[in-house]
A and B are shown apart, each in its own frame.
Chain A
């Protein structure tokens, strides 16, 4: 595995940057410039690159879609949220319609924010492509078809040009897919969700979203510590604060930055990506959340090797 590309990182519902938010960013950038003049575009670019991410960038609004780039001929994708649309555009730009591709799609669960990008995943309409949808839910194919049924969508699933196959996976069992060993892990979420541990080529990536952790259950905790063990990257559902996750939003099926750090520390993971961002959190709030999470990791490290903390955003590429 060479890298991970985040195409959609928002939880529950896609969002868009508003005009007010853009205006706020422009004002923050001009305030930071403080009347300065720039001799060249590269000097201006350097200045922009030095601004806080919440000013110069945005975490984005597409729902869950993450690509694992192996360097091999077949593509690995986790979930088909709305981020699948820019992913599809990138694949078409790279390969065109004339070069058939194989896509392996791993579905965490059947909620709409994790499936809604599939009707916009253009490779499904191109004959010659092969799409293998892997998952642990009995009704996986039914759910994929359901969202494309009238009156919900104008193009029926039956009009797909690609060959679409389904592969039923067994939680806890390793499966060989595209040169990787992929192991699903059952997670606590309405209707169940499944995380996936991808291992191969000397690297390990864990995709674990829409997963609530019951802190009083030590058996569950040990299971996740093994699931995350020595991972190079753990993509983790950090939608809520810990206080929310154990009180008003208990049983909503999501977790927190604090639990993500604790599990990754106990598992000896190398890097944690905060993921499935709460739609009401703006870029500044998510930026503060990242700073706080890094601080939490530092003050609870206790002699362990540092855990690198990043916050996933649409378009982020992480080299493994």
Chain B
């Protein structure tokens, strides 16, 4: 799992790639911790670009939950964009679509959340 931060005019965009499994869930959450403090009430939303994520395990989903709760507690906003179909199915089965909103792509997420 790699993670890059991209420029976007109205959002913080973080793009993980590869697999977020039991081995990489903690590094994933640790990397998100660098961005999360900037996501508070009145700031730009955090958008996770999942277009290059091929797999996410329960531990990876837990990391997402932790990040989402931190951001929401600070009054910030978070969304996920470009989720691959199989990963999207995992989101639905785990009921995570009820926790973090999913969008077609980064621009759609930015328009909705900003």
Question: B75-114, CB under 8 A of A: which get 1 and which 0?
Answer: 0000000000010011011111011000000000000000
| Contact status A215-B58, CB under 8 Å | yes
Number of A-B contacts (CB under 8 A): 56
| Contact status A241-B94, CB under 8 Å | yes
Closest beta carbon of chain B to A199's beta carbon, Å: 26
| Contact status B95-A243, CB under 8 Å | yes
| Contact status B65-A243, CB under 8 Å | yes
Cα distance A242–B64 when bound, in Å?
Answer: 12
Cα distance A246–B90 when bound, in Å?
Answer: 15
Knowing A218-B22, A241-B94, say if A247 contacts B69 (CB, 8 Å).
Answer: yes
Knowing A247-B65, A247-B69, say if A215 contacts B93 (CB, 8 Å).
Answer: no
Closest beta carbon of chain B to A247's beta carbon, Å: 6
A43 CB within 8 Å of chain B: no
A299 CB within 8 Å of chain B: yes
Chain B: number of interface residues, binned into ranges? 20 to 34
Cα distance A257–B26 when bound, in Å?
Answer: 22
Closest to B56 in A: A300
Question: A291-315, CB under 8 A of B: which get 1 and which 0?
Answer: 0110110011000000000000000
Knowing A259-B58, A262-B57, say if A243 contacts B90 (CB, 8 Å).
Answer: no
Contact of A262 among B58, B65, B95, B96 (CB under 8 A): B58
Closest to B86 in A: A299
Which residues of A have CB within 8 Å of B86? 299
Give the interface centre of A242, A257, A262, A295 by most chain B CB atoms within 10 Å: A242
Closest to B65 in A: A246
Cα distance A300–B32 when bound, in Å?
Answer: 25
Which residues of A have CB within 8 Å of B65? 243, 246-247
| Contact status B96-A242, CB under 8 Å | yes
Question: B8-41, CB under 8 A of A: which get 1 and which 0?
Answer: 0000000000000010011000000000000000
Contact of B90 among A221, A256, A299 (CB under 8 A): A299
Question: A230-248, CB under 8 A of B: which get 1 and which 0?
Answer: 0000000000011110110
Closest to A259 in B: B58
Knowing A215-B25, A221-B22, A299-B86, say if A258 contacts B98 (CB, 8 Å).
Answer: no
Question: A168-192, CB under 8 A of B: which get 1 and which 0?
Answer: 0000000000000000000000000
| Contact status B94-A256, CB under 8 Å | yes
| Contact status A242-B25, CB under 8 Å | no
A216 CB within 8 Å of chain B: yes
Which residues of A have CB within 8 Å of B96? 242-243
| Contact status A296-B90, CB under 8 Å | yes
Contact of B93 among A221, A244, A296 (CB under 8 A): A296
Cα distance A299–B90 when bound, in Å?
Answer: 9
Closest beta carbon of chain B to A220's beta carbon, Å: 11
Closest to B99 in A: A243
Cα distance A254–B86 when bound, in Å?
Answer: 26
| Contact status B22-A258, CB under 8 Å | no
B30-74 CB contacts (< 8 Å) to partner A = 55, 57-59, 61-62, 65, 69
Contact of A295 among B26, B69, B93, B98 (CB under 8 A): B93
Which residues of B have CB within 8 Å of A258? 58, 61, 90, 93-94
Cα distance A243–B66 when bound, in Å?
Answer: 11
Closest to B61 in A: A242
Which residues of B have CB within 8 Å of A257? 93
**A243-B94, A292-B92 known, 5 other contacts, Cβ within 8 Å:** A242-B61, A243-B96, A244-B95, A256-B94, A259-B58
Give residues in A with beta carbon < 8 Å to B.
215-216, 218, 221, 241-244, 246-247, 256-259, 262, 292-293, 295-296, 299-300
10 residue pairs from A and B, CB less than 8 Å apart: A215-B22, A215-B25, A241-B94, A243-B96, A246-B62, A256-B58, A256-B94, A258-B58, A262-B57, A299-B86
| Nearest 10 CB-CB pairings of A with B | A242-B94, A241-B95, A243-B95, A215-B59, A215-B62, A292-B93, A246-B62, A296-B93, A246-B65, A299-B86
